[in-house]
A and B are shown apart, each in its own frame.
Chain A
């Protein structure tokens, strides 16, 4: 099997690695680089548990080849928190009880980040539509919708106050900290 030397920038940290042609991005992230926060649910792009941001766009990493992400900026759930501060979407999920088993949650949050990046003030219907590629079997979705609304409220407030905005160019925890998003 042919291997390829690629570079992935994950949560701000550059990683050089060799992958087979067929290696999926999710397996490169999880098995090669140890970012196990990204979960595999269906291997067919349908459930969204594996969603990560690639150059800012939500991508199902279970059907994306790692070689195609060569040179890309990838953001995983481990990069959402800013040091000890949760990202607003994380706060939203915690405050609104937007998760139960938590398996779909990393992908769900990253899809929501992508949505809020494009539409900072979505209505409930827009949120439900935007999350159609992310399945949750536990929550009945209602509290997930509330979580995204909560985050939208926080982010609009934060921006108005000159506070934190989702920014893929910001500095992230590096190396050994990468899997250690702080937990308040």
Chain B
């Protein structure tokens, strides 16, 4: 069952906000008229290709580019030494910066091109620029690199061990940071007196984002004006402009970053990589447009990966089922260098959500970040919150099992109560609003939980193993306010900016500093602005993703666009309405305090025939023949909106699976997602975001994982080896929703983009664990391939001395 789309022409203007209208983005995308970065073809464009390290860890003795340089059509081959000798305008620092600091951060140099050493397979060594795309790649084969190989380490616990190969300067022991949150003494006390301690130990595997469009950039430099234009696959053009300006030593006001259509991001297009900066540098150096498009192999080797946690956790629970304390110890894989937001992800975005939906009186978490010989690890869909939710919801499942309490009952007993909001957790955040039982109850109804246990019992008697798994997740979206972000280490504010501009004829362009890449902002933002101004939806155009057009912005990630960007648009529209009121009052010869605005019309209170529409006011504002004293002509307004707090979406996801212990195969009977993302601007788009998010969560649970061999070679380096789920792999999902508006923002919205990915993995692991309960299997490591499930069943059977598990499991 799904929500039906509505033609916007069939919606009354007053109902546009909240309607499931079709997306206005789609016509260009379904006709081939969309323009992605690789579609941009500037005259005389040269093509770049990047030589990448074949080894995960090596000293570079020599790079010989002479053969490549003499090839016909090759216009330049550059290494770190070439950059160092460079006389291109600008003060090039060669280093890729980190935009999030922690007090204990052991930051290390991250050169654009390897400076005598490579630290992951795919680390950039040289860049070739040639007249043609194929030729640039041909030339890579003619560059000789002398490597002196070094030992590699790819997981955080090995990297932090005393005898590990060292990635950076001697003595740092591969520690990127050592961070903690919560009250250690209070938590120790809770455990000292605990009736029960539930233990959990599990990895949250490294994932490769796999946006369908590979990263790409086209750079164009005008030596006459010193203007540098870069079209690129970005989720946050203004942030890239700031970072690239620093890296290239190019003045920010002469650098334009434009995101054309962007084919998915999931976090991987937030971060500042060396590659796009190299393309921009080459365009400046050669004074010629340069294009670079990553191959899929390159995206596997170089896109910032996600997750990568090794965690042990303990929960102190009374015999009555009340949670009394929670202790978490995590080692986080940071990869070879710190990427843009990387230090925030396993710390503030992870540790602060370890209270989940529960009232936990004592929590302490410690996190060590480790340098390893894998690509930088940074934000990937959910960014820290999936890892937190996984730990919380797995240990909730295990605790209920250990105490022999129904998992639903156990969760409900510990939920934050409805009247406790705003709720301050023990890990430094204040939940804005929530009613946690509502989505849980709706989900239970949808899966038919009342009858499930009976059905499960009957099935077991037939030798079939059904399992139900719950995930009551919480998410923090729209990181804010900026002052707090600064205290936490952000090197930028996390407000959002917008501009709402009436044109003289009465249509409107709304500019927003977010930058959508598939989320449908053109549609949802137009719904917001049309609603605020009371004008037809079709009269509003939305512009994003271009630093030359949009005053400023922070971009799209962390499900911040509706809550922060959308709210900024409301604030700008309110300013427009207010200025319009001054003009309207003047023209209606009334006191502004007596003028009311509703449904696009200014009316004098008590005299309904004295009115003027906002479009006419706009016309008058630009005509400027009859303005109030001191009022400027024109009708537009900008806002820089800085929210008071995060927003905290929540919900319950339930997976019902059947596991075949003989083959290890898992089949979904159903997957139910009930999410509360606050008010919904467009329910169809909300549903689509949930579907896509759940699919990525299913991918993590069952199929996906970056794997490295002992030498640090990526063995899942293509779609042949890394299982991006196909249509047959994703179950039919049933979605439901409850609505608990956020009290912090004018729209009452929360955030939806990451909810499914945060919620799904543990729902599925818990379901498999429930199905395999007769075999004594508590859980299976992700991705839960058939082989791993089969092994888990049989290893447990061997441990129990019960012989063939599949035959004996059902006969306890």
The answer on a CB contact under 8 Å between A102 and B30 is yes
Interface residues of B in 534-584 (CB under 8 A from A): none
Residue of B nearest to A183 (CB): B27
A76 surroundings in chain B (CB, below 8 A) = 32
Q: Is A8 an interface residue (CB 8 A)?
A: no
**Which one of B31, B689, B720 lies within 8 Å of A90 (CB-CB)?**
B31
> Who on chain B is nearest to A27 by CB?
B133
B210 at the interface (CB under 8 A from A): yes
Contacts A40-B38, A103-B212, A137-B724 hold; do A184 and B32 have CB atoms under 8 A apart? no
At the interface, yes or no: A28 with Cβ under 8 Å from chain B? no
Is A49 on the interface with B (CB-CB < 8 A)? yes
Residues A47 and B212 in contact, CB atoms below 8 Å apart: yes
A138 to B689, CA, bound (A): 8
Determine the distance from Cα of A141 to Cα of B671 in the docked complex, in whole angstroms. 14
When distances are taken between beta carbons in the complex, the residues of chain B under 8 Å from A127 are 727
A20–B138 alpha-carbon span in the complex (Å) = 14
Q: Which A residues from 52 to 85 make CB contacts under 8 A with B?
A: 76-78, 80-81
- Which of A78, A109, A137 meets B266, CB within 8 Å? A137
User: Residue-by-residue, is A130-146 near B (CB-CB < 8 Å gives 1, otherwise 0)?
Assistant: 01101111111111111
Closest to B381 in A: A137
Asked if A13 is at the interface of the complex by the 8 Å CB criterion, the answer is no
Q: How far is the CB of B149 from chain A (nearest CB, A)?
A: 28
Closest to B265 in A: A101
Residue B422 at the A interface, CB < 8 A?
no
Expressed in whole angstroms, the Cα–Cα distance for A128 and B687 within the complex equals: 20
- Neighbouring B residues of A138 by C-beta, 8 Å: 212, 264, 518, 688, 692
State whether the Cβ of B389 lies closer than 8 Å to any Cβ in chain A.
no
Choose among B2, B26, B266 the residue that contacts A102 (Cβ–Cβ < 8 A). B26
Check if B586 is an interface residue, CB within 8 A of chain A: no
Inter-chain contacts of A109 with B (CB < 8 A): 30
Name the B residues within 8 Å of A183 (CB-CB). 27-28, 31, 33
A132 B720 Cβ-Cβ under 8 A? no
A99 contacts B263, C-beta separation under 8 Å: no
A183 CB to nearest B CB, Å: 3
B724 touches A102 (CB 8 A): no
- Which residue on chain B has the smallest CB distance to residue A1? B134
When the two chains form their complex, are residues B27 and A135 in contact, meaning their CB atoms are under 8 A apart?
no
Binds A, one of B120-128, B165-173, B367-375, B728-736: B728-736
How far is B719's CA from A20's CA once the two chains are assembled, in angstroms?
Answer: 27
Given contacts A43-B295, A101-B518, A140-B694, contact A37 B33 (CB under 8 A): yes
Is B23 close to A, CB under 8 A? yes
Residue among A36, A125, A132 with max Cβ neighbours from chain B (10 Å): A36
A46/B5 in contact, CB under 8 A? no
Shortest Cβ gap from A154 to chain B (Å):
14
A80-B31 CB under 8 A given contacts A39-B263, A97-B687? yes
Chain B residues positioned under 8 Å from A49 (CB to CB) = 212
Partner of B691 from A31, A38, A129, A139 at Cβ < 8 Å? A139
Instruction: Assess the A41–B296 pair: CB atoms within 8 A.
Output: yes
Contacts of B22 in A (CB 8 A): 94-95, 97
* A114 lies within 8 A of chain B by Cβ: no
Give the nearest-CB partner of A147 in chain B: B30
Question: Taking the complex as formed, is B434 at the interface, i.e. its CB lies under 8 A from any CB of chain A?
Answer: no
- In the complex, whether B29 has a CB less than 8 A from a CB of chain A is yes
> Which residues of chain A are within 8 angstroms of B718 by Cβ–Cβ distance?
42, 44, 46
Nearest A residue to B263 via CB reads: A103
CB distance from A65 to the nearest CB of B (A): 13
Type the 1/0 row for B24-60, where 1 means its CB is closer than 8 Å to any CB of A.
Answer: 0111111111111011010000000000000000000
Please name all residues of chain B whose beta carbon is closer than 8 Å to the beta carbon of A97 when the two chains form the complex.
5, 22-23, 684-685, 687-688
| Residues B30 and A86 in contact, CB atoms below 8 Å apart | yes
> Nearest Cβ in chain A — how far from B185, in angstroms?
45
A102 and B719 form a contact (CB under 8 A): no
- Does B694 contact A41, Cβ atoms closer than 8 Å? no
Closest chain-B Cβ to A124's Cβ sits at a distance in Å of 8
B296 touches A93 (CB 8 A): no
A172 at the binding interface (Cβ < 8 Å): no
Question: Given A42-B719, A44-B719, A106-B32, are A100 and B212 also a contact pair (CB < 8 Å)?
Answer: no
Docked Cα-Cα span, A140 to B725, in Å, equals 9
Taking CB atoms and an 8 Å cut-off, the chain B residues in 590-644 that contact chain A are none
Does residue B520 face the partner (Cβ distance < 8 Å to A)?
A: yes
Asked whether any CB of chain A lies closer than 8 Å to the CB of B519, the reply is: yes
A135 contact from B39, B519, B726, Cβ within 8 A? B726
Chain B residues whose C-beta falls within 8 Å of the C-beta of A41 in the assembled complex? 212-214, 296
Q: Which of B730-768 contact A (CB under 8 A)?
A: 730, 732-733, 756
Within A16-36, which residues are at the interface with B (CB < 8 Å)?
20, 22-23, 27, 30-31, 35-36
Rounded to whole Å, the gap between the CB of A52 and the closest CB of chain B is: 11
Within B706-732, which residues are at the interface with A (CB < 8 Å)? 718-720, 724, 726-728, 730, 732
Q: How far is the CB of B729 from chain A (nearest CB, A)?
A: 9
Beta-carbon contact of B210 and A137 below 8 Å: yes
* B33:A179 contact, CB within 8 angstroms: yes
Closest to A95 in B: B5
Closest residue of chain A to B32, judged by CB?
A37
B517 contacts partner chain A, Cβ-Cβ < 8 Å = yes
For residue A141, give the distance in angstroms from its CB to the closest CB of chain B: 4
List of B residues within 8 angstroms of A36 by Cβ? 32, 35-36, 38-39
Is B262 engaged at the interface, CB distance under 8 Å to the other chain?
yes
A43–B266 Cα gap in the complex (Å)? Answer: 21
A126 to chain B, nearest CB (A): 11
> Does B695 touch A at the CB level, under 8 Å?
yes
Q: Name, among B22, B29, B210, B689, the residue most crowded by chain A CB atoms within 10 Å (CB to CB).
A: B29
CA distance A131 to B729 in the complex (A): 11
Partner of B29, one of A38, A96, A99: A99
Say yes or no: A181 contacts B518, CB within 8 Å: no
Query: Across the interface, do A140 and B730 meet the contact criterion of CB distance under 8 Å?
Result: yes
A157 to B133, CA, bound (A): 46
Contact of B31 among A40, A77, A142 (CB under 8 A): A77
Smallest Cβ distance from B22 to chain A, in angstroms?
6
The interface residues of chain A lying within 8 Å CB-to-CB of B34 are 37, 102
Taking a contact as CB atoms under 8 Å apart, the answer to whether B692 and A102 are in contact is no
Q: Which residues of A contact B471 (CB under 8 A)?
A: none
Look across to chain A and name the residue whose beta carbon is closest to the beta carbon of B517.
A101
Roughly how many angstroms separate A96 CA and B685 CA in the complex, as a whole number? Answer: 10
Residue B101 at the chain A interface, CB threshold 8 Å:
no
Question: Least Cβ distance of A53 to chain B in Å?
Answer: 14
Q: Report, nearest first, the 5 A-B pairs whose CB atoms are least far apart.
A: A37-B32, A103-B263, A102-B29, A101-B518, A181-B31
A-B contact pairs, 7 of them (CB 8 A): A22-B134, A39-B36, A78-B31, A93-B30, A101-B213, A139-B692, A140-B693
Known A-B contacts: A102-B261, A135-B724. Give 4 more (CB < 8 A).
A100-B692, A103-B212, A179-B33, A183-B31
